[in-house]
Amino acid sequence: MADTVQFYMEEMIPEMRDLEQKGIFSKTEIKSIIKQRQKFEYALKRRISKKADFLRYIEYEMNLEALRKKRRARMVSDTKKSISDYAGPRRIYFIYKRCLIKFKGDISIWLQYIDFAKKTGATRTLGKIFAQAIQLHPTNEKMWILAAAWEWEENANIVAARVLLQRAIRLNTTTESLWHEYFRLELVYIAKILARRQVLGIDASNKEAEDDLMEDEEADTDNMIKLPGVTGEEYSEFIKEDDKEEEPKKSNKAKQGKKEKKKMEALTEEKAEALQTEKNPVLRGDIAMVVFRNGVETIPTSFPFRKGFLDIANSFIKPKPLKEDSIQEIYDSIEKDFKELPEALALVARRAIDAYKVDEEGYALGVAETVKGFWAACESKDVKMFELFVQNMTWEHRKTTEENLKLYFSKTIDRIFSTANKKNIHSEALYLLHVNWMLSSSTQSFDAISKKALTVLDKAVTEHPESTALTIQQIRLLRSFSRSEQIARLPEIFARALKIHTESFEVWREYATFLRTAYREEDMSKEQVEEAFLEAVRITTTLMPDVTEERADIGLIKQSVSSWFLDWMNETEGIEGVRRLYQSLMKRSLPDLGFFMACIQLEKENSVDQPESRKAIAMLYEKAIHTNEKNEDTYLSFLKHLNETGQIEAANKVMWKAGKAVENSDTFSQRYSELLEGQWVEPSFGVTKLELDMDVDTEDVAMSS
């Protein structure tokens, strides 16, 4: 190991000598560089190499090279390149190669390696890197796509890009992104050629030629010099005279003339026709459509896959690489193969409206055709179809500014809800869309429309009692009513909701807000609110721990309900009531870290100088540490408090205890040093403050759905 490291160090001598002679680095800096590189080399030669060591070495070399370039740029007099100009990037490449020998399966390192090669402009090396990466990871579609993109964007080699994607698809037949990227490549290629032809005026259509002619005729000729007309006889005489003058020149350029003739003869009528867009299969989009058809044949049952082709085709504005008949083929294939899927029917129905912008002339006709298509699709009585119909009409209603169109969309949306109600077609999402539409678009007063919306919500919650979204919407809408109406209905709604939606954080938040507001408005006594909070703590304490993502809110619910209870107690009885409460809760349940940190925060807000407060804070910190003795942040928070209050001896004891408990004492010591320097930021520990919002307006209620 030492021999290898020494060999690498000796290889650096010419480079270091050159850097010193040029004055880029001083002797002291060169010694530091050598020492640092030697340290990294020994780290790489350990028995079990770590990826982090390689990456740190690469990062150091990149920073060093950036510094060398900056200093080199200042030396205007010396522009001749030498070994030190090449040694840095060469060493980084060498480290990457050694790293990939050890960690060839790590995609992230390959991507970093490719990115570095792109930045340094190493075209040949990049080709080799892509070849190695693809050979080792033939099933990773990202590598194939990056390689094809590099061939097309950097090398302008469409053939190589096609070959790469064809090989990729052959090996990964069912990978949707590869089919999409191949389709996109063909369209980008067509769009680029069409744009170039448009600039050069090649292959202009008859209509475009007529438009140009009309523009010429309509042009203002007052300020233009008019050339005299030339008759046919004058032109013939001019050609004869010109031929006589050119006779001697032709004899001198006989060979060149033959070559030119051959070139002209090579461009036959058939070849000239083939260059036209309409006659050229590539420019017509035939290859792109072959990719689409083969992709559909390979992956026939995926609607998102089929829709992806359409999204790519519609992403081009001008010039459009695909003709209308090709785009229609994609729509027809979606309509044929997914005629039972509401999303597919909605996509087909929207074609007429997507063909125009909101301010274009044909938009109104497109709207009428789209609405007709949606009503035809709604004949199946599929509730999802009605939901998509409402969503699409709402989007268009928001986009347009023309009053007649806005009115048309409003009438259409009202008709959709009316038709769905008559046919008894309902769902949770459709109810939410209905309420949201009523609250956001009605011209009636808020009191009148909110009562109608509440009637709809009452019916919706009765039909869908398991819906958390409908229940929260019902509660928030009721909060906009008078206090008497709230007190008459909300307790009953919360009693039902907390049984069904026990694991919903938003329901518990609304309940805590209701309790605290009811106490402030004197609708409930202190004893009633305290009893209700204690029952809430009891219910949340019995919830199972959040071991899965679906139950991720449970830990937050347990912690938040207790914190909200403590905040309310602090408002009503002060710190004495808070102490009585948390001592009682510690006996009844097993509080978590967030609960203890919330108690500590309240104690600190009260006082940190009184002996009783200091004793309570120390006790709470000990309890908090006991919940997880390896949590460094809890120790650091405690140490910060002790240092700020001048309890140095106690801080030393906590520091000694932490050094024994944490996993990495060196890292902890470094973080403690940052704390002493004022650089450590204390985390929130999940402590949440409940902000009461009594002024619920129409916009808030509408947005909640």
Q: What is the pLDDT of residue 80?
A: 75
pLDDT band at 545 (very low <50, low <70, confident <90, very high): low
SS3 content of the chain, % helix, strand, coil (to 5): 75, 0, 25
Identify which of 538, 505, 527, 539 has the alpha carbon closest to the alpha carbon of residue 690.
505
**Is 705 a residue whose pLDDT tops 60?**
no
Measured CA distances, 203 to 101, 235, 267, 362 (Å): 53, 28, 16, 27
Phi (first) and psi of residue 16, to 5 degrees: -65, -40
Kindly compute the dihedral angle of the four CA atoms of residues 53, 57, 63, 64, in this order, to the nearest 10 degrees. 150
HEC per residue, 655-694 = HHHHHHHCCCHHHHHHHHHHHHCCCCCCCCCCCCCCCCCC
**From CA 283, how far away is CA 270, in angstroms rounded?**
16
Q: What is the pLDDT of residue 277?
A: 63
**Is 498 a residue whose pLDDT tops 80?**
yes
Q: What is the pLDDT of residue 686?
A: 66
For the chain, give the percent of residues with pLDDT over 70.
84
pLDDT band at 587 (very low <50, low <70, confident <90, very high): confident
pLDDT band at 436 (very low <50, low <70, confident <90, very high): very high
**From CA 155, how far away is CA 141, in angstroms rounded?**
20
Question: For 120-167, how does the pLDDT look when each residue is reduced to its tens digit (9 = 90+)?
Answer: 888 889 999 999 999 999 999 999 999 999 999 988 999 999 999 999
Q: What is the pLDDT of residue 49?
A: 81
Q: What is the mean pLDDT of residues 572-580?
A: 92
341: exposed, middle or buried (Cβ count in 10 Å: 0-12, 13-18, 19+): middle
Question: For 333-349, how does the pLDDT look when each residue is reduced to its tens digit (9 = 90+)?
Answer: 999 999 999 999 999 99
Identify which of 364, 367, 184, 366 has the alpha carbon closest to the alpha carbon of residue 292.
184
Q: Which residue has the tokens 């008759």?
A: 231
How many separate helices (H) and strands (E) can be counted in the chain?
A: 36, 0
**From CA 326, how far away is CA 196, in angstroms rounded?**
22
Q: What is the pLDDT of residue 453?
A: 93
Q: Is 544 helix (H, G, I), strand (E, B) or coil?
A: coil
Identify which of 102, 97, 24, 22 has the alpha carbon closest to the alpha carbon of residue 65.
24
Tokens of 390: 């409402």
**String of b and e for 218-228 (b: at least 16 CB within 10 Å)?**
eeeeeeeeeee
Identify which of 505, 498, 494 has the alpha carbon closest to the alpha carbon of residue 557.
505
Q: What is the pLDDT of residue 370?
A: 94
Tokens of 8: 């690498």
**Is 547 a residue whose pLDDT tops 70?**
no
Question: For 654-686, how does the pLDDT look when each residue is reduced to its tens digit (9 = 90+)?
Answer: 999 998 899 888 889 889 988 988 888 888 876
Q: What is the pLDDT of residue 214?
A: 44
Q: What is the mean pLDDT of residues 429-445?
A: 89
Average predicted confidence (pLDDT) for the chain: 84
**From CA 269, how far away is CA 540, in angstroms rounded?**
84
pLDDT band at 531 (very low <50, low <70, confident <90, very high): very high
**From CA 703, how far away is CA 577, in angstroms rounded?**
38
Q: What is the mean pLDDT of residues 522-536?
A: 92
Residue bearing the bigger pLDDT, 672 or 219: 672
Q: What is the mean pLDDT of residues 564-568?
A: 91
For the chain, give the percent of residues with pLDDT over 90.
51
Q: What is the mean pLDDT of residues 40-65?
A: 88
Angle, CA of 248, 251 and 252, to the nearest 5°: 90
pLDDT band at 459 (very low <50, low <70, confident <90, very high): very high
Identify which of 162, 150, 155, 154 has the alpha carbon closest to the alpha carbon of residue 190.
162
Give CB contacts under 8 A, 24+ apart, made by 163-166: none
Contact at 8 Å (CB) between 509 and 526?
no
Complete DSSP assignment for 363-405:
HHHHHHHHHHHHHHHGGG--HHHHHHHHHHHHHHHHH---HHH
**From CA 117, how far away is CA 703, in angstroms rounded?**
48
Question: For 228-274, how does the pLDDT look when each residue is reduced to its tens digit (9 = 90+)?
Answer: 444 444 435 544 554 555 455 445 555 555 555 444 445 455 554 55
**From CA 103, how far away is CA 98, in angstroms rounded?**
9
Look at 41-50, 479-488, 543-552 and tell me which has the smallest mean pLDDT.
543-552
Instruction: Tally Cβ neighbours within 10 Å of residue 621.
Output: 23
Look at 114-123, 253-262, 540-549 and tell me which has the smallest mean pLDDT.
253-262
Residue bearing the bigger pLDDT, 438 or 696: 438
Measured CA distances, 700 to 44, 476, 490, 684 (Å): 58, 9, 18, 28
pLDDT band at 310 (very low <50, low <70, confident <90, very high): very high
**Is 4 a residue whose pLDDT tops 80?**
yes
Q: What is the mean pLDDT of residues 189-198?
A: 89
**From CA 627, how far away is CA 620, in angstroms rounded?**
11
Q: Is 546 helix (H, G, I), strand (E, B) or coil?
A: coil
pLDDT band at 551 (very low <50, low <70, confident <90, very high): low
**From CA 262, how far away is CA 259, in angstroms rounded?**
5
**From CA 391, how far away is CA 430, in angstroms rounded?**
10
pLDDT band at 22 (very low <50, low <70, confident <90, very high): confident
675: exposed, middle or buried (Cβ count in 10 Å: 0-12, 13-18, 19+): middle
Residues in the chain: 705
Contact at 8 Å (CB) between 507 and 493?
no
Look at 214-223, 361-370, 605-614, 635-644 and tell me which has the smallest mean pLDDT.
214-223
**Is 703 a residue whose pLDDT tops 60?**
no
pLDDT band at 320 (very low <50, low <70, confident <90, very high): confident
Tokens of 147: 């390689």
Nearby residues of 694 by Cβ (< 8 Å), 6 or more positions away: 479, 517
**From CA 575, how far away is CA 603, in angstroms rounded?**
7
**Is 216 a residue whose pLDDT tops 50?**
no
Q: What is the pLDDT of residue 267?
A: 47
Q: What is the pLDDT of residue 211?
A: 47
Q: What is the mean pLDDT of residues 400-409?
A: 92
